Structure 1
Amino acid sequence: MMKKIYLSLIALLTAIGFTSCQQDDLDANTGYLRIDVETNTYVNTKIAEDYNPKQIALQIVDSKGEVVESTDDWETLEGKQFRLPAGIYTVKASSNGFDGSESGFEIPYYAGSEQVTVETGKEVTANITCTLANVKVTVNYDQSFIDAFQSATATVTSALEGVNPLSFNMGDDLKPAYFPVADLTATISVINHAGQSFSQDAPIKGVKARKHYILNFKVAETGNIGGVNVSVDGTETIYTFTFDVSTEVSTKLGVEGANAWSRVAYLEGSILSSKEELDPASMYFEYKEASSEEWQTATATFENEKFTTKITNLTPSTEYNYRLAYSKEGKEYASDIATFTTETEIALPNGDMDDWYQSGKTWYPVSENDYNISGSFWDSSNPGTTTGAGALVNKNPTQGNSDIVHTPGGKSAELKSQYASAFGIGKFAAASLYTGKFNSLVGTNGAKIDFGQEFASRPTALHGWFRYTNGKIDYRGGNTPEGVAEIGTDDLCSIYMALAKAPHQLDNTKTSTFFDFENDPNIIAYGQLPDAEAVSTNNEWKEFTVTMTYKDLTPQTQYYLIIVCSSSKYGDYFTGSTGSTMYIDDLELIYGEPATK
């Protein structure tokens, strides 16, 4: 017998005209709304501890969309009258405490609504039927199937992103599952009594609410998906899928999702099932641009039951197809075709350092238009000496320079270390240029800075030009580590780059201010200009490339690009030389094959 829940909500409007106050109500164009509830329940289901689908929440909503009355349990309104102005109202009812957006066992979700017009002096009734608003799935294993396999799991996956798949293991107490309304895929994975395993997928299309999908698994001589039987009882439509699963294992290959960069991709695949021994040396990958007809091959490396390969020389922002394939002695197999799209090679904003804009007293390396729209991708130490208490100093250690440039006709970034003071209070200020945002001053002790700007691609190196004149260190902060940057030694400049999972917050009032690239779990990749190259360039432009080393090649949901340049490497400790000046020009990001540890 079909199981369902049927809830009838009767909204009864009664015009009562026997007393003077009731007559006043009629004159004021008002009436009464009474909620009477009737239920006919045909469901006998064990409900999860924190959720009772048979507790129906109710809302009365006017024509403006405003809720005039609500309750978490409609029984609290039973027999109660509400005086309402004449008009159109919608009565909404649904299971309380759940909106049907998640998957789970034994969590049906019921909903319904009805519109009612309240007229002065008239009676109106709204009948609401709450029906199943998510999708019910049950799984059955035929006895012949149970006898044929030592284990089996049916996994049902929703096409909606973020909805958890649910598994039905043969031998377990199989409970009904519920999914939000979307297409489904059923995957049956079995291991026979010889220890061989395989799986097959079956899409379930056109999924709608109030549908009950029963998945029956039985043994057949060949592996196929049988027909669909449909029966209708007036409330639910039942679809019965019969899966005929062969006890003889077939050979099937599969691939995982690709780790695609802009010019390189890492592929992975495996043997899902095999009726024979396959030679790993005869396994390979095939790939091609999605628009191309011709496949290219890549050698597969076999390790830990997985086949992997790296394909290079790809085109950025391009869709590719790929598959795992096998060929030996006339036997050929291939996985289903999968797809990936290479990353876009995003250019570094204002990498040529030609754009500069002054806001108040502070110079920023950005055009006026970009500054007004989205702010500056770059920032510097300038806010520390031009805003707040620093406004008394009114110096911009970092600013544009049109005289000393690598590319004629443009500008470079000039970073000049200096001692900044006002009213007898001063600090050594190393000029800096970085992707991120100057956060705030911390009294006269230092500043808080957020390093990193959100970035959608994974570069592998930073290329550019710098020109550096260094002086002897004449200021040394009290928190400078022992044994480095002693008074009278040559100052060093600094250029480093990192890719992080989140912005890096620096507070240089603390003792430890430098990045711990190696041990910081937030850092995905990093690279820096060696000290041997961070010295005077004798008034010449010097080309440089900072290559990042990736600690983890796994794709992340977000990336933050960190680039920092400083005319005094230990400026975060208020240490350096007032004779040091650095120029930066023509910065660009390099994309290619990532270097790893």
Structure 2
Amino acid sequence: MKYYGRLSVAALLAVAPLYGFAQEKVVPIKYGDMDQWIIRKVHESGVIGGNTKLLYEIGPTKEIDGNKPYKNMGGSPWGTSNVMAKVVGIVKTNNSVYRDKRDNGYCARLETHIESVKVLGMVNITVLAAGSIYLGDMLEPITGTKNAEKNMNWGVPFTQRPKAVRYDYKVKMSGEKNRIRLTGFSKKGQVEGQDCAITVFFLQKRMEDAEGNVTAKRVGTMVVKYDKDSDGWVNDATYEVLYGDITKHPAYHPETMGLRERDYTRNSKGESVLIKETGWAAADETPTHMILQFSSSHGGAFIGSPGNTMWIDNVKLVY
């Protein structure tokens, strides 16, 4: 087994830390102020209308015109659920993350909605798409909804131990009592329980074996769900990162905080493989990777309630 290489976090975090209270240091995540956006102009196929759609990505201010697969630009660590798909030769987009105006700058708006593409005799796909921003990247174009999660590369190299995650947020719930499941290959199903917006933060110590399989020990955990409308913006919301085995902690929730095996990464061979969490690391362990995701829905891919909306701004780590 080999440990993933420990890379410098200078490219991930903004250059200058912000100092708050006397005993804390606040470090913005690069582009986490949501004031810089890349706008992609993607031209959908004529057979579905030939519309030009705008896809928003978090990174240095820029416009890109054309159906070009997107790769993170300007050292941005952020991926989004906005994608260009090419299914049986048909170019289609999904846009569930938007640049929204806030005061003198911008924020990210994440929305859950239903996306469909129908061409008689060729393709008939209807899916539920949550709005999501995360640290990592997406491999384009998407060629179908089956195993689409394999296109995502979850997490970024990271070797620090923050005590908390801090950001501004606003949420608006759909009002539905239950969620729906729309995968594109089956009829609409019902999933018990109200949809929630969610923030997930994991620190992992990853290892890769000779065959390219990736396992991880969970070093740090922070998960928070939002099930009620907020009263406008909540600024500087700060959530503690719990270290080591947290299964006995009063805040532990196994469904959202437990060890999992559903996230993908690209191994040293460039292959997309599952990250298999095999246990809890010691409370003083140093991580190799950080996962951070904000999503307008919870419960997994293609599950949620249309209308759920989450706004995010000013994402930082607190030490």
Compute the TM-score of the two structures, normalised by the length of structure 2: 0.60
What amino acid sits opposite 1:545 in the alignment? T
- The aligned residue for residue 464 of structure 1 is 167
- For the structure 1 residues 442 and 357, does the alpha-carbon distance in structure 2 shift closer, same or farther, using more than 3 Å as the test? same
State the distance in 1 between where 2:77 and 2:165 align. 16
Map of 2:202 onto structure 1: 498
**Structure 1 partner of 2:296:** 567
CA displacement 1:173-210 (0-9 Å, x = unmatched): xxxxxxxxxxxxxxxxxxxxxxxxxxxxxxxxxxxxxx
1:409 aligns with 2:110: no
Contact 2:206 2:216 in 1 (8 A): no
CA contact (8 A) 1:497 1:546 kept: no
Aligned pair count?
Answer: 218
C-alpha displacement of 1:412:
0.8
CA–CA separation in structure 1 for the residues paired with 2:59 and 2:99: 10
Query: Which runs of structure 2 are paired with 1:187-206 in the superposition (5 Å)?
Result: none
Counterpart position of 2:232: 540
2:129 alignment counterpart: 429
CA–CA separation in structure 2 for the residues paired with 1:580 and 1:476: 14
- What are the residue-to-residue correspondences of 1:63-462 with 2, within 5 Å? 346-361=27-42, 362-368=55-61, 372-374=73-75, 376-383=76-83, 386-389=84-87, 392-402=91-101, 405=102, 408-423=103-118, 424-439=124-139, 441=142, 443-445=144-146, 446-448=148-150, 449-462=152-165
Query: Which residue of structure 1 aligns with residue 180 of structure 2?
Result: 475
Is the contact made by 1:439 and 1:447 (CA closer than 8 Å) also made in structure 2?
no
Tell me the C-alpha RMSD between the 2 structures.
Answer: 3.2
Contact 1:451–1:503 under 8 Å retained in 2: no
The whole-number CA distance in structure 2 between the counterparts of 1:524 and 1:491 is: 28
- Over 3 Å counting, the alpha-carbon distance change for 1:354 and 1:360 in structure 2 is same
SS of alignment partner, residue 578 of structure 1: coil
Q: Which whole-Å CA distance do the structure 2 matches of 1:391 and 1:540 have between them? A: 40
CA distance in 1, matches of 2:172, 2:232: 9
TM-aligned CA deviation for residue 545 of structure 1: 2.2
Question: Residue type of the partner of 2:196?
Answer: L
Cα contact 1:450–1:503 (8 A) shared by 2: no
3-state SS of 1:564 partner = strand
1:463-500 deviation per Cα after TM superposition (whole angstroms, max 9, x unaligned): 11211111114522589xxxx942xx532110111112
Shift of 1:554: 3.9
Match of 2:243 in 1: 550
Please give the secondary structure, in 2, of the residue aligned with 1:501.
strand
- Shift of the 474–501 alpha-carbon distance from structure 1 to 2, 3 Å rule, reads closer
Kindly tell me: are residues 456 and 387 of structure 1, through their superposed partners in 2, closer, same or farther at Cα, counting changes over 3 Å? Answer: same
CA distance in 2, matches of 1:490, 1:315: 36
Greater C-alpha Rg = 1
Letter in 2 for 1:416: E
Give 1:501's aligned amino acid.
K
AA of the residue aligned to 1:535: D
Aligned partners of 1:315, 1:381: CA distance in 2, in Å? 33
Q: After the TM superposition, which residues 573-592 of structure 1 pair with which residues of structure 2 at under 5 Å, given as runs?
A: 573-591=301-319
Distance 1:450 1:371 in 2: 11
- Contact map agreement 2:219 2:285 (CA 8 A) in 1: no
Q: Distance in 1 between matches of 2:90 and 2:104?
A: 32
Give the drift of 1:447.
Answer: 2.5
Q: Call closer, same or farther: CA 1:464–1:545 in 2, change over 3 Å.
A: same
Q: 1:536 to 1:490 in 2, by over 3 A?
A: same
**Contact 2:72 2:78 survives alignment (8 Å):** no
Q: 1:397 to 1:555 in 2, by over 3 A?
A: same
In structure 2, the gaps of 5 or more residues are: 1-21, 43-54, 63-70, 119-123, 209-214, 245-281
CA distance in 1 between counterparts of 2:82 and 2:315 reads 20
CA contact (8 A) 1:346 1:457 kept: no
Give the distance between the partners of 1:523 and 1:351, measured in 2 at CA: 24
The alpha-carbon deviation at position 414 of structure 1 amounts to: 0.5
1:371 is displaced (CA, Å) by: 5.3
Deviation at 1:387, TM superposition (A): 3.3
Distance 2:153 2:315 in 1: 21
Structure 2 counterpart of 1:582, which letter? Answer: M
Shift of 1:455: 2.3
Using a 3 Å threshold, how does the CA distance of structure 1 residues 315 and 589 change in structure 2: closer, same or farther? Answer: closer
SS of 1:388 mapped into structure 2: strand
- Is the alpha carbon distance of 1:394 and 1:315 closer, same or farther for their aligned partners in structure 2, counting shifts above 3 Å? closer
| Counterpart AA for 1:464 | Y
CA gap of 1:314–1:394, structure 2 versus 1, over 3 A, is closer
Say if 1:410 and 1:391 are closer, same or farther in 2 by CA, change over 3 A.
farther
1:457 is displaced (CA, Å) by 2.2
Using structure 1 for the length normalisation, give the TM-score. 0.33
Q: Distance in 1 between matches of 2:90 and 2:228?
A: 31
Higher relative contact order (CA 8 A, sep 6+): 2
Query: Retained in 1: the 8 A contact 2:112–2:306?
Result: yes
Give the residue type in structure 1 aligned to 2:238.
Answer: T
Q: Secondary structure at the match of 2:139?
A: strand
Query: Once the 2 structures are TM-superposed, how far is the Cα of residue 456 of structure 1 from its aligned partner?
Result: 4.0
SS of the counterpart of 1:582?
strand
